[in-house]
Chain A
C-alpha cells in the first residue's frame, strides 16, 4: 500500500527557510535546510518502521538533532563531513550555487527516497556537495582543499613505511620466487602457465621493464639477487600500490559518511597494519589485489552517493569505474570475485528498490538495468578478457606452459617445432597425443603402478613436455611386426593399432577393472612390453574431422595437429577419455585417463589430436599455421587454471607448516615465516597488527549482536535512532559485514590450501566495521561529550600506532638472532621464535 504522501517533493530550500534557520553560526549558509513544513510533520510522529511509510529520510528537522549530529550529516564546505571545517570562510562564495544545486527538478528519485521504507532503503551516506567556485587567491585554494591535507599526510607516511629499507634483504623472499619468475617470462615473452589471471603478473613484468630488468634471473626461492636484477626498483613499484591503499581507505571512509575521527582511524589502521605493510613490500600480487579491492569499495561508495543524480556524468563515471575496478581485481587474482559478489548484492538490492518504485517510468527502469548490465557485467568481462588478450600477445614464444594449451595454439608460438612435424601419421611414427577437452593434457605413462585396481602401470594425462608422453604407432600382434624398411603404411580411419609407450615399451591397455576415480569407467593402464601383449591392447582409430580439411569424408590420411581422433578399445568398445579428474598423490595429481563405456560422439574429452610427431622416413612438414581463435584459447586457459587451482588441495600426507586454516585468521592464531630463519638473515614475518585484527573481528560479532538487539527492539517499536541514522548504520554495516563474510566464508568450504595472506582483503572490511562501530557508539553519539570523544579517539590512535611500532620489525626486517627480539610472542601459537 502506498500512502498518499509519496509525492512529497522536497524541493529547493527557499530563501526564507534558510534564513530562518541560520542559527548556529554566521557561516551557517553551508548547511542543508529542510522545508519547515515537513519538519513539523515529522516532529509529531515519534515512531517509524515498515508501515510508517509517511516518514522519510529527508524530513528530519534540524532542531530534532544535536548540533553535532546535524553538522555531521549536512553539507559543509568542500569537505562535506568534517566537523572541523564548518568555520572556514573561504567557501562563503558557494552559497548562491548551492540552492540551485539542490534543484532536483521534481525527479522521481527524490520522491522515491521519500517513500522508501526506513530500514529497507539506503539513503546516500554522504550528500553531493556543491562544486566550489574557482579559487581567486592562493589562500582560498588552500582553504578549499584543506580537507585533502590529512590524506596527503597519511600518503606521505605511507610512502615512508612502505619504502623504508625496502631493499634490506637482497634475497628472493617467499612467493617472489613465483611472481618474479612470471614477470621474467613476460620480459622474455615465453609462454608460461599459472593459476592466477595475468594482470598482476603483467604489472610485475612492467615493473621489471621500467626498472631495466632483462628477465634473465631465475628467481630461485631464497637465492641472492645478482646485480643485474633491479629488485629494489621492482619492489618499490609494487609497493606503490600499497602506498595508495592509505588514501583510498581515507576517501572510502569519507564516502561512507564516517565522521572525521573515524576517517582518521580507518586511514591509520590501513597505514599501521603490519601484514598489509609487509605484503606490499615485495614482488607479490597481493599489493595489487588489495589496491583493486580498495578501489572497488571506494568506487562503490562513491557511486552510492550519486544515487539521486541518476544518469548524471558522475553517476556514469563511478558506475563504470566500479565495473572497471571489478575487472581489474578479478584479473589480478580470482579472489576478486568475492568483492564482485559484494557489488552484485548491492546492485540487486538497489535494483529491487528501483523495481518497487511505481513512480519511475519504464524507460528509466530499463535504463537502470541496462546501465548495470553494461557497466557491472560486460565491462568487467571485457577488462578480464583484455588482460588475457594482452597476455597472449606478449607471450608469443614457446615456454614452459605450452602443454596446457591446445596444439594449435602452441603451433603459433615462436620457437615451437610443431611446424616441422611430418604431416601424415604412419605406422612406426613416434608421437604425442593431446586431449582436446578444455584443460586436457598429453597422454602419459610412467613406471609407477596403480595402487588400486589392476596394479599395472599408470596411464595419465600430463601437462608438461616429457619423454614419457611419447608413443609409437604399431600394428596389432597378429599382424606382421613393424618393419622400418617396408613401404610406408598410412594410418587411416578405422585402423586397429597398438600404442606402445616408448620409454617403458609397454602397451596402452584397458580391461574390465574399474578406473580409480571415475569408477564407472574402465581402467586404462600400460601392460606387457614390446613382445608381450594381448588383444586388450588394440585400439580402433576413429576420425572425427579435421580442423583444416573439414568432414572426415573429405580426406583419408591422418594429419598431426589438425585431425581430431577418438580411440575405441576394440574388445570393450569403450573410448579413451581424460576429463580433468585428478588422481591422488600416488598419481602425482595428474589427470586420470579412463575408458568410457558410454559412446558419446559429442564428448570432446574423448577427442585427441597428434601433437608432436617424429618420423625420420617422412619429410618435415610445412604445415601452415592455423589460427587458434582467441575465445577458444581464453576458455581453454581458464579451464586449465580452474583445474590446477582445484588441484591445490591440502595433502593429508604432507603437513605444510606455512598453510593455515580459515579459522586461524580472524583471531590471528598463526603468522607466516616469509623467509629463512637463520641468525644472519633478515627475517620477515607475515603477521597482522594484533589490535587491528582482534578489534576488527570483535566488531563483527558486536555488529551482529547489536543488529539483533535493534531488530528486536524495532519489533517492539522502540525508537533507538532516527531513520537517517538507522539507514547509515545499516548501509555501512551491510557493506562491511557482507564484504567480510563474502571474502571469508568461501574459504571455509573451498577445498584448496589456504594461507594467512588470503585474509588480507577480508581484513579491510573488518577494519571498516571497527571504525563504523566506533563511529556509531562513540564519535557520533549524542550522549558523550566532546571531551570523551577526544579521549577515546586518542586512546584508539595510541594503541594502533603503538602496536604498529612494537611490531614494525616484522615488516621492515629483523636482523640477528630472532630470540634477541623481545616481547613479540603475544600468542603462543605464533612460530616467531625458534
Chain B
C-alpha cells in the first residue's frame, strides 16, 4: 500500500524536472548516521537524550504529578464549587434519572462509572457547596481519583508531545513542569470537574496528530492509519467531554486544511486522484469516526438515563414520553370544551390568575390603565387560577367534536369572577411596549367580543391535533391584535400583591410565551374528567428515534450554553486570564479559615505569556527581515518555529480567542486548555532562545522522502539543565507558596492570607482587616 503512492510521487517529480531548484521537503527522516554526529554534542545532552534518561524523566514527572494531585485528595470532605453540578449528574447516572446539562456526556458518564465502581448509590444530591460527604457516606475519593489520574497522566503526555516534536529532553521536561507545578491544573484535577478529562483528551489529540504528521512519508501505512484514527477518536472524546472541546476540533481542522492545501500544491507533484485519497482518508479519520464516537456517547447517555428526572421539563413532550415515570406520560389527557382547567407558564411555572381587584387608574410613571380587572401570574394553587374553555363555534352534543384542537379560537372564562380573558391596546403596567391583559364581565360579552378571542397555537403540532393537558404546550395568540400571552419574572407592585405581571408580547412567536394546561379540574357537568376516555393510566414509555433525540438535545445544549449569561461574582473576562489577574473562590470553611481558590502558578503563567510574546516577536522580525531579503534564522529552525510551534500557537489561539466573542459567563478555568498549549510554546521558545540547534529531521523515513537533509541534533549544553532547573525550582517554590489555597489546607490567618495575595486583584477570603473584610 505504501509503495504505490511512493512510486507515483517519485515519478511525477522526476517528470517535473530532475534538478529542481526548489526544495520540497522541509524536514526529512532520521539520518542513518545518527551516532556519528553525536560526538559533537555536549556530554550532558548526550546523557539526557539517551532512552534511559528519558524514561527516568517521565518516571519522575509522572510520580510527582500523581503525588501532587493525590495529596490529601480527601480534603475537603465537602462539596466544592461545581461538584454541585457534576457530582449530581454522576448520581443521576447511577439513579438513571434523566437530567439536562449544556455539556456533552462523556466526562460525566466517566464520573458516573467511577461512582458506580466505588459503590456510590446515587442518593446524595450534591445540593450545596459545603455539604459534607462523610456525613452522607459518599465515596467521593473514588470519584475524585478519576480526574486526578487523568490530570496526572496529562503531564507525561505533554512531555511526549515535546519529545516527539524534536525538542531536547530538558526542554520537554520544562514544558511538562509548567503543567506539573501549576496550581490551577492541580486544583482543577483534584475535584469532580470536567476540565481534567477535557485537557487529558486534548493533549492526547495533539500527541496523536503529531505522531500522524511525522508519518507523512509513509502515507497510508498501517501506522499512519492508526495515528490518524487515534487523533479522530481522541478529538471526539475531547468534544464529548465538554462543549469547549469543539475548539480542539477546530484547531486540528485548521492544521489539516493547511496540510491538504500543501498536498494540493502542484509542485508537490501529486495527482488529483492522490489528493482525493488523502482527502477521503482524513474525512474518514477526522470527521466520520469522531462523529460515530460522539454519537455513541450520547447513545449510552440516553440508554442509561431511561427514567424521569429533573431534566424532563427541558425536553419536548414527545421526548418526555420516552422516560419511565414521566408525568406527561402518566397524566396527559385530551381537553374538551367547557372543561375547567388551570394554565401554567412553562418557564416561570406561575398559574394564569385573576381576581376582583382592578388595575390602578394611574401608575407611578404617569401612564393610565384601563382600570380593568387584574390578570396576573400566581405561583400557588388557588381557586382563582381556574379557567373554563368556551368554544366560538357550534359543537356536537357529544363525542370527539368536543375536543379542543390546534388553531381553534377559544374564549377563556375566569370561573370565580365570571369574566372573559381579554387584551387590548393599552400598555401593561410595567412594560409600556406590551399590551395589558384584563377580563371583561360575561354579562356584557357583546361589546368587547372580538377582544376576548384567542387562538390556540400548539407548539410543533399538526393540523387537527388535540390539545392535551401537560404535554400540549401552546401559545395563546390574541386574534385581533396578534399579541401572545406572555409573562416573565417581574413582580407587580403592592396593589397586585407582588404577583407576576402578565402582558401581551407583540412578538407572537416569542419562545418564552409558552404555556400548558396543568390540570383538568372538571368537565362541563362539574365531574372529575379522569377516566372519561377510558384509558388506562399505566402507559409504557414510548420509543423515539435516537437521532431525533440527539438533535433535540444538541440544539437545547447550544441554546442553553449561549443563555448562560447571568452574572457570577467570580466570572472574569478573557483578557485577564493569561495574566492570572483573577481566580475563583471554590470553597471556604469559616472555622479554620480554610479556602480553595483556583489560581495558577504565577511564575509558570507569566513565563508562558512572555514566551508567547517572544514568539510573536520572533515571527514578526522574521517576516520583516525576509521582506527585506534577509534570512536571519537557519532554515530547519525556522521550519520548526513556523510549523511545529505555529501549530501550538494555533491551538492556543483557537482555544482562547473565541471566548472574546462569547457573551456567556466565563471563568478562568476556560483558559486551562490554552494554558497547556502555551506551555508547549514556552518550551519551543526556550529551546530557540537557548540554542539554534534542534533535533532534525524528525519525521519517519519513508519512500516518499526526496533526499536526506543534513541532520542535526539539539544541544543545549550545560545551560539547558541549569536554566530549566532554576526555573523549575522557582515554579516549585511558587507552587508551594500558593499550595494552601490550592489544597484548601491548612487554614490561614488573616495576615497569611494577605501575604498569599500576590496580586491585588485576587479576592481571597479571610483577609486581615487592613483592606476591609468580606
Contact = CB atoms under 8 A, between A and B. Distances in A.
A654 B624 CA distance: 52
A574 B627 contact: no
A358 B628 contact: yes
A597 interface: yes
Contact of B628 (A356, A572, A657): A356
A160 B264 CA distance: 56
B507 A749 contact: no
B488 A653 contact: yes
Contact of A597 (B430, B567, B661, B771): B771
B629 A2 contact: yes
B175 to A, nearest CB: 34
Interface string A347-361: 000001001101000
B506 A356 contact: no
A512 interface: yes
B773 interface: yes
A654 B433 contact: yes
B507 A655 contact: yes
Contacts of B505: 655
B566 to A, nearest CB: 12
B490 interface: yes
A512 B627 CA distance: 59
B624 A573 contact: no
Nearest to B627: A356
Contacts of A485: none
B709 to A, nearest CB: 19
B423 to A, nearest CB: 15
B264 to A, nearest CB: 5
A20 interface: no
A511 to B, nearest CB: 11
Contacts of B490: 653
Counting chain B CB atoms within 10 Å of each CB, which of A653, A657, A749 scores highest? A653
Contacts of A717: 266
A514 interface: yes
Contacts of A597: 771-772, 774
Interface in B421-448: 430-434
B431 A653 contact: yes
A520 interface: yes
A785 to B, nearest CB: 33
B264 A712 contact: yes
Nearest to B270: A716
A574 B769 CA distance: 12
B569 interface: yes
B774 A716 contact: no
Given A512-B774, A572-B772, A716 B266 contact: yes
Contact of B773 (A512, A514, A654, A749): A512
B324 to A, nearest CB: 37
Contact of A514 (B272, B569, B624, B627): B569
Nearest to B767: A597
B265 A520 contact: no
Interface string B243-275: 000000000000000000100111000001000
Interface string A655-670: 1110000000000000
Interface string A507-535: 00000101001011010000000000000
B760 interface: yes
A599 B488 CA distance: 41
B428 to A, nearest CB: 11
Contacts, number: 58
Nearest to B262: A715
Task: Report the interface size class on chain B.
Answer: 20 to 34
Contacts of B272: 716
A573 B627 CA distance: 58
A715 B506 contact: no
A483 interface: no
Interface string B753-774: 0000000100100000001111
Given A2-B629, A653-B488, A520 B266 contact: no
Interface string A633-669: 0000000000000000000011111000000000000
B434 A655 contact: yes
B627 A656 contact: no
B628 A598 contact: no
Contacts of B627: 352, 355-356
Nearest to A596: B772
Nearest to B760: A598
Contact of A655 (B261, B265, B506): B506
B482 to A, nearest CB: 11
Contacts of B431: 653-655
Nearest to B21: A1
A2 B629 CA distance: 8
A51 B272 CA distance: 21
A355 B624 contact: yes
A352 B490 CA distance: 57
Contacts of A654: 431-433
A374 B517 CA distance: 70
B264 A715 contact: yes
A411 B265 CA distance: 70
Interface in B597-649: 624, 627-629
Counting chain A CB atoms within 10 Å of each CB, which of B490, B624, B663, B772 scores highest? B772
Contacts of B772: 512, 522, 572-574, 597
Contacts of A715: 261, 264-266
Interface in B647-692: 661, 663
Nearest to B266: A717
A657 B771 contact: no
A555 B360 CA distance: 57
A356 B507 CA distance: 57
Interface in A706-720: 712, 715-717
A654 B430 CA distance: 10
Nearest to B507: A655
Contacts of A512: 772-774
A593 B488 CA distance: 28
A352 B626 CA distance: 12
A597 B760 CA distance: 11
Given A356-B628, A574-B772, A519 B261 contact: no
Contacts of B763: 520
A381 to B, nearest CB: 26
A833 to B, nearest CB: 13
Contacts of A656: 433
A741 to B, nearest CB: 15
B773 A355 contact: no
Contacts of A352: 627
Interface in A656-699: 656-657
A471 to B, nearest CB: 24
A474 B488 CA distance: 43
Contact of A716 (B264, B434, B760): B264
A340 B363 CA distance: 48
A136 to B, nearest CB: 51
Interface string B358-373: 0000000000000000
Given A355-B624, A356-B628, A519 B569 contact: yes
B113 to A, nearest CB: 38
A573 B264 CA distance: 68
A657 B624 contact: no
16 contacts: A2-B629, A51-B22, A352-B627, A358-B629, A519-B569, A520-B569, A520-B763, A597-B771, A598-B760, A655-B434, A655-B506, A656-B433, A657-B433, A715-B261, A715-B264, A751-B663
Interface of B: 22, 261, 264-266, 272, 430-434, 488, 490, 505-507, 567, 569, 624, 627-629, 661, 663, 760, 763, 771-774
Given A519-B567, A653-B488, A716-B272, 17 more contacts: A355-B624, A355-B627, A356-B628, A514-B569, A573-B772, A598-B771, A599-B771, A653-B430, A653-B431, A654-B432, A654-B433, A655-B431, A657-B433, A712-B264, A715-B264, A716-B264, A717-B266
The 10 closest A-B pairs by CB, nearest first: A356-B627, A597-B772, A717-B266, A519-B569, A715-B264, A716-B266, A655-B433, A358-B629, A355-B627, A654-B433
